[in-house]
Chains A and B, each alone.
Chain A
Amino acid sequence: MEIKVPELSLVLLIGSSGSGKSTFAAKHFNQYEVVSSDICRGIVSNDENSQKASQDAFDVLNFIIEKRLKNGLLTVVDATNVQKQARKNLLNLAKKYHTLPVALVLDMPQKVCEERNKEREDRNFGNHVIRNQQQQLRKSIRGLKKEGFRKTYVLKGEEEVEAVTGVVREKLYNDKKDVHGPFDIIGDIHGCYDETIELLEKLGYLIDQVEDNGSNYGIEVTHPEGRKVIFLGDLVDRGPKSPEVLKLVMSMVRSEVALCVPGNHDIKLQKKLSGRDVQLKHGLEVTMEQLEGASDAFLEDVREFLYSLVSHYILDNGKLVVAHAGVKEEMQGRGSGAVRSFCLYGETTGEIDEFGLPVRYNWASEYRGSAKVVYGHTPVPEAEWFNKTIDIDTGCVFGGKLTALRYPEEELISVDAAKVYSEPVKPLEAGSSSGMSHQQEYDDLLVIDDVIGKRIVQTRLRNNLTIKEENSIAALEVMSRFAINPKWLIYLPPTMSPCETSDLPNYLEHPKEAINYFKKRGVEQLVCEEKHMGSRVVLVVCKNEEVVLKRFGIENEGIGVCYTRTGRNFFNDQTIEKEFLSRVQSALMESGFWEQFDTDWVCLDAELMPWSAKAQSLLKDQYAAVGTSAQKSLSAVEEVLQKTQSRGVEGIEQLLSKVTDKRGTVDKYIDAYRNYCWEVKSISDYKLAPFHILATEGHVHVDKDHQWHMEKIQSICEADKEIFRVTPYKIVNTKSEESIEEVIDWWTDLTSKGGEGMVVKSFDFITRGKEGLQQPAIKCRGSEYLRIIYGPEYDLPENLERLKNRGLSRKRSLALREFALGIESLERFVQQEPLRRVHETVFGVLALESEEVDPRL
């Protein structure tokens, strides 16, 4: 004999001491599934039989059960459970976590129990205890179903217990994780048959009349691509053709071209058809009228069909959940009366509004689940995503439209209602007055719990990334004290690793190693881009301020923003920023960018020059200061050494030549930083060199290669040659020595003229090799530039030798993690995810940046 229990259930073993509960549990369930009261007694008192420890033991028992149920795990309670009160407590726990309770009674003869207890040295209670328990058990058995157990098994005597061959776990009805779609999810129909047909046709379904086979009502619906419809319930009431809708849906569900969850109206109809006393209100009277004269067989068919509907479904590996009124995360995939009621009616606050309708509580505003929830029930003028949930009831019966959500495409397709079939009691909730979406209004303020503490961020490129608490702590300070409005912050760039150190005598870095990084990993084609020496900036530019409001939810902050790699404003002066951004915007317009990309905003990754524009204080306090003090000191030193040398003091000559060498390096150092400085008198003195078109509406452009980026950017640059600077680049074939030589020559020439160096990237934006994701870019800096990083004298032979010993693994690991997070944030923004989801990832980049790593790398 097999015992069947729901996959997620709370199984109570019921039997007196010595009835064999533990043996049974050990045989049929897994180690962790069984929670035993005796073991809990032992844990809190070192004595499994201590009655004194009962209270503590049951506290522990309940605690463990709660944690397991919360985590959705089947749990077996190994305790006598012969008292009604004890069972009631456990039933309450099952209810709290929407878990189905199962009773499994081991009804053993008293003798067997007594003998078994005798065999156990640790059990020294008298037989009267067992007798009592046996009596309580007998009393209990009949009432178990009434107590609330969904399933009850009573095993009488040793034979029946022995006869159990196994415990089968049954999937819950709502578990359709193995159904993957693609789906077309349709909102509340309310008898709008014509619109439904029109929508199905628009979605590409073929609707044929076929012979009535007794269950299909002569309708056959198919989709050439095998798509499936999901009806979100409220098929009936208010509208003109509820019976037709029922026939259509029943036929589609039965031929497995559709799934259907029940709505509150459907359930009310079902109750009415079952002969229950239901008031003929809210459109039910219309349906009943339409059903007049229908055959009893049809009515019975409808009743059965509606009765069979399951409150909600978990689909596509748990990524999609559908329910008429939505369903909270903790209820998804569970079964209880509360779950069913939530799915049908949603959550109400208990208050009644001025139209006499219950005030609905917006459960979606607190939704943090990973599954997308598609629902209906509350008519809205437009379907919009909100915290990964979407209400697609667009009030067709009230003269709105009937909407379908295509999944996984997430495309919304709708047909307008032919007329107003029913006057709504209250007007459809108008869109927000601020011009922002519901999501944006909600996102106006971020919540601290979404950023503090240890965090695990899921990314497309590198799965789970852990942000340590100490790094979140650092990031919180930087983010809240210095960063711009988080609504702008849709991306932060990753750090970039340099190449391995060169084995050539005079170089710390040389292109050979940068190219080799990729060559060794089997990358054949590279793009080498000149690295400009300015400040790394991210630009978000919109077509106009309306777009800023609509897409970013920001008001009165101009048409865009230009921020640094730590999320600070690049410009301190708002007027200059405004002027600068409007130049960029004009260039985008003139180059036809908006039309070409079918977008009204863009996020660009760029270098903004001159360096001196942002690094003014750094230059004055550090670079020029070191230069001038070194120059003056060293020439004074040279002078006294020359004098001393003329006196013929031994050893001075060597010292003098060392000082002369140092002086030479200081002169070069001053030249080096001067290269990156010029005075900014007007906007035209800024030079902007974009190198990635990161994202536009609907797209994160990491699927394009770097040549594409360079070419597209060039056409923007041509629209305003004064402030844009085109980035020179070379394409390298790593299999051709000639090609490598060519780029080395190019780099040598570039850096000898004071250029910072170059960035080597694989041709494709994202490349994976055996070790997984590869570095998005490797920088190779010129010898002179490195002076301003490693200090003027870095390349004196005795110094260079020591500096070549440097480790890159930490830097590279950081670069990859930050890259994955950066791309993730763009993807999330483009997919219109809630701000906290975008913010989480940029916050992560900032947090990682607080990890200590050699700043010279």
Chain B
Amino acid sequence: MLLNITTTHQPASVLGFMLHKHPDKLQTVKLSIGKAHVFYPESSEEKTTVSLLLDIDPIDMVRGGRNLSGKGFALGQYVNDRPYVASSFMSVALSKAFSTAMNGKCSHDPSLVDVEMPFEVSLTSLPAPKGGELLIRNMFEPLGYEVELERYTLDEKFTEWGDSKYFTLNLKHILKLKDLLSHLYVLIPALDNDKHYFVSNNEVEKLLDKGKEWLKNHPEKEQITKRYLFNLSHLSRKALEQLRDEDVAENEVEENVKKETLHTQRLKLVLEKLLASGAKNVIDLGCGEGKLIRMLIKEKQLEKIVGMDVSYQDLTKCRERLHWEEMAPKQKERIDLFQGALTYQDDRLAGFDAATIVEVIEHMDESRLQSFERVVFEFAKPKTVFLTTPNGEYNVLYESMEENTMRHTDHRFEWTRAEFETWANKVAETYNYTVSFLPIGEEDSKVGAPSQMAIFNHGN
């Protein structure tokens, strides 16, 4: 919410001229949802400090459908850190209040623009989720800053809650004012990594414009771009493409081809086994956004392809990605998508040669699995079932994973190979199926492959 910039350049009073803000006045600029104030706590020839203070209207912030909160928590938009932190609002304020300086202009003395001056900056409070101190240093230090940080505890009364994601950041460096401002303009929202004031294609241009001098060579450029664009992959891809030298780009593409993701390997294996089973129609239970469905429709062998998911949102995305609206009527007849849940008996699931259940069961409470088993194996009764789930044993090989955690926050369990096989064998026995198992992904001699598949065949 507060940014202080101090210089000891001689004479320090030039700061006022360069920022185009009178040192003895309180000056206010209007923002879309509040104001920003500029004033000078200190102003002399030896040392001058300017403060940029955000004054965000917390009520206005949520008016008129502007939901600036993170997701998940309904009240999040009302009880919100936005008015008190340095976020993209700070960047907006910077560009509004100090636009002349940012654009490298100074009517008082144009030569000052290119003068490198000693600056000290302090920012309160700067959020740096998913990265913290290291991330802040990695962003500023390569640009030559001396970094000093103070991290806040969440609540002194409840020290067991630990530290917060907020810092007071102090920076020291000798550089041009316009560079300082452009660094701050980009890096503050990149660190904040929260929903933006707004993110649009225009945002890519802004980023490229403000970062043109330095971002290309910054070792963290990927991370900065992604976080600045709030992980909107299509935008950050676009920005990164424009930042890349051509030869670098080619190398990376090649690597992408070599390194197939685990999920792709999994889907390919399911597809291969599915086709080998001779199935002519298939239902993908828990189809999500339809990655597997999009692979299935390319296969001539399959006459009918049905996708079911419990998430309506995912189904909508699935439709979009299939370009459902523009699809030819014959194609449409071949495909069917609907919402359903695997804990309810459902006649629509019956009568298929094959069912695929890819990375689904671990999202169900173990106590609900019995219903799932009856729905699929007793009532839907496909001839063949292809079912995959993570192999929990493999987790030790994921360095970034903490102990006793799971690969996904919604996973209710991640079975070992033995646990999976015990379960699958029991299901097969109860509902008259035979079952075989396959590893998915590269196998480790001790803990096996990262993922596992069971193939159930009805009857003997």
Q: A621 contacts which chain B residues (CB < 8 A)?
A: 73
Q: Assuming A481-B363, A649-B39, A670-B155, is B76 touching A622 (CB within 8 A)?
A: yes
Among B2, B24, B157, B311, which residue has the most Cβ atoms of chain A within 10 A?
B2
Q: Assuming A633-B85, A649-B39, is B166 touching A640 (CB within 8 A)?
A: no
Q: Which of B2, B26, B59, B341 contacts A651 (CB 8 A)?
A: B26
Q: Does A446 contact B (CB under 8 A)?
A: yes
Q: How many residues of A contact B (CB 8 A)?
A: 63
Do B80 and A791 touch (CB < 8 A)? yes
Do A633 and B125 touch (CB < 8 A)? yes
Q: B42 contacts which chain A residues (CB < 8 A)?
A: 643, 647
Residue of B nearest to A630 (CB): B84
State which residues 344-370 of B face A: CB under 8 Å. Answer: 344-348, 363-365, 367-368
Do B25 and A788 touch (CB < 8 A)? no
**Complex CA–CA separation, A479 to B76 (angstroms):** 23
Q: Does A679 contact B (CB under 8 A)?
A: yes
State which residues 738-791 of A face B: CB under 8 Å. Answer: 788-791
Q: Does B198 contact A (CB under 8 A)?
A: no
**Complex CA–CA separation, A480 to B310 (angstroms):** 8
Q: Does A51 contact B (CB under 8 A)?
A: no
Q: B157 contacts which chain A residues (CB < 8 A)?
A: 674
Q: A628 contacts which chain B residues (CB < 8 A)?
A: 125, 152-155, 164, 166
Q: A855 contacts which chain B residues (CB < 8 A)?
A: 74-75, 78
Residue of B nearest to A635 (CB): B124
State which residues 655-707 of A face B: CB under 8 Å. Answer: 655, 670, 674, 677, 679
Q: Does B374 contact A (CB under 8 A)?
A: yes
Do A451 and B1 touch (CB < 8 A)? no
Do B58 and A791 touch (CB < 8 A)? yes
Q: B365 contacts which chain A residues (CB < 8 A)?
A: 484
Q: Does A413 contact B (CB under 8 A)?
A: no
Do B39 and A644 touch (CB < 8 A)? yes
Q: A677 contacts which chain B residues (CB < 8 A)?
A: 158
Q: Does A625 contact B (CB under 8 A)?
A: yes
CB B98 to nearest CB in A, in angstroms, measures 17
Do A637 and B1 touch (CB < 8 A)? yes
Do B310 and A856 touch (CB < 8 A)? no
CB B93 to nearest CB in A, in angstroms, measures 14
Q: Total A-B residue pairs with C-beta atoms closer than 8 Å? A: 182
Over the window 74-88 of chain B, the binary record of Cβ atoms lying under 8 Å from chain A Cβ atoms (1 yes, 0 no) is 111011110111000
Q: Which of B49, B78, B84, B363 contacts A629 (CB 8 A)?
A: B84
Residue of A nearest to B342 (CB): A480
Q: Which of A477, A484, A790, A791 contacts B310 (CB 8 A)?
A: A477
**Complex CA–CA separation, A626 to B87 (angstroms):** 14
Q: Does B168 contact A (CB under 8 A)?
A: yes
Q: A301 contacts which chain B residues (CB < 8 A)?
A: none
Q: Does B281 contact A (CB under 8 A)?
A: no
Q: Assuming A473-B312, A636-B168, is B124 touching A445 (CB within 8 A)?
A: no
Among B1, B42, B122, which residue has the most Cβ atoms of chain A within 10 A?
B1
Q: Assuming A624-B164, A629-B84, A633-B124, is B343 touching A480 (CB within 8 A)?
A: yes
Do B75 and A856 touch (CB < 8 A)? yes
Q: Does B339 contact A (CB under 8 A)?
A: yes
Q: Does A357 contact B (CB under 8 A)?
A: no
Among A484, A485, A633, which residue has the most Cβ atoms of chain B within 10 A?
A633
CB A680 to nearest CB in B, in angstroms, measures 11
Do B124 and A632 touch (CB < 8 A)? yes
Do A448 and B80 touch (CB < 8 A)? no
CB B2 to nearest CB in A, in angstroms, measures 5
Over the window 306-320 of chain B, the binary record of Cβ atoms lying under 8 Å from chain A Cβ atoms (1 yes, 0 no) is 000011100000000
State which residues 161-181 of A face B: CB under 8 Å. Answer: none
Over the window 602-635 of chain A, the binary record of Cβ atoms lying under 8 Å from chain B Cβ atoms (1 yes, 0 no) is 0000000000100000111111111111101110
**Complex CA–CA separation, A485 to B369 (angstroms):** 10
CB A271 to nearest CB in B, in angstroms, measures 41
Over the window 118-155 of chain B, the binary record of Cβ atoms lying under 8 Å from chain A Cβ atoms (1 yes, 0 no) is 00001011010000000000000000000000001111
Do A445 and B81 touch (CB < 8 A)? no
Q: Does A650 contact B (CB under 8 A)?
A: yes
Q: Does A452 contact B (CB under 8 A)?
A: yes
Q: Does A802 contact B (CB under 8 A)?
A: yes
CB A442 to nearest CB in B, in angstroms, measures 11
Q: Does A557 contact B (CB under 8 A)?
A: yes
Do A448 and B344 touch (CB < 8 A)? yes
Q: A484 contacts which chain B residues (CB < 8 A)?
A: 365, 367
Residue of A nearest to B162 (CB): A620
Residue of A nearest to B42 (CB): A643
Residue of B nearest to A790 (CB): B78
Q: B154 contacts which chain A residues (CB < 8 A)?
A: 620, 624-625, 628
Residue of B nearest to A638 (CB): B2
CB A659 to nearest CB in B, in angstroms, measures 8
Do B79 and A626 touch (CB < 8 A)? yes
**Complex CA–CA separation, A473 to B157 (angstroms):** 43
Do B165 and A640 touch (CB < 8 A)? no
Q: Does A310 contact B (CB under 8 A)?
A: no
Q: Does A141 contact B (CB under 8 A)?
A: no
Q: Does A652 contact B (CB under 8 A)?
A: yes
Do A629 and B26 touch (CB < 8 A)? no
Q: B75 contacts which chain A residues (CB < 8 A)?
A: 622, 789, 855-856
**Complex CA–CA separation, A807 to B429 (angstroms):** 58
Q: B79 contacts which chain A residues (CB < 8 A)?
A: 622-623, 626, 788-792
Q: Assuming A485-B368, A644-B51, A791-B78, is B2 touching A476 (CB within 8 A)?
A: no
Over the window 21-43 of chain B, the binary record of Cβ atoms lying under 8 Å from chain A Cβ atoms (1 yes, 0 no) is 00011100000000001011111
Do B25 and A640 touch (CB < 8 A)? no
**Complex CA–CA separation, A448 to B75 (angstroms):** 32
Do B78 and A674 touch (CB < 8 A)? no
Give 9 new A-B contacts, CB below 8 A, not counting A624-B154, A652-B26.
A447-B345, A476-B310, A480-B341, A481-B410, A625-B81, A628-B152, A644-B51, A789-B75, A802-B59
Between A and B, 18 residue pairs with Cβ closer than 8 Å are A444-B371, A445-B344, A451-B344, A476-B340, A479-B341, A480-B342, A557-B367, A619-B161, A625-B154, A628-B153, A628-B166, A629-B164, A632-B152, A632-B166, A644-B41, A649-B26, A791-B79, A803-B59
Ranked 7 nearest A-B pairs via Cβ: A480-B341, A643-B41, A855-B74, A448-B344, A630-B84, A651-B26, A624-B154
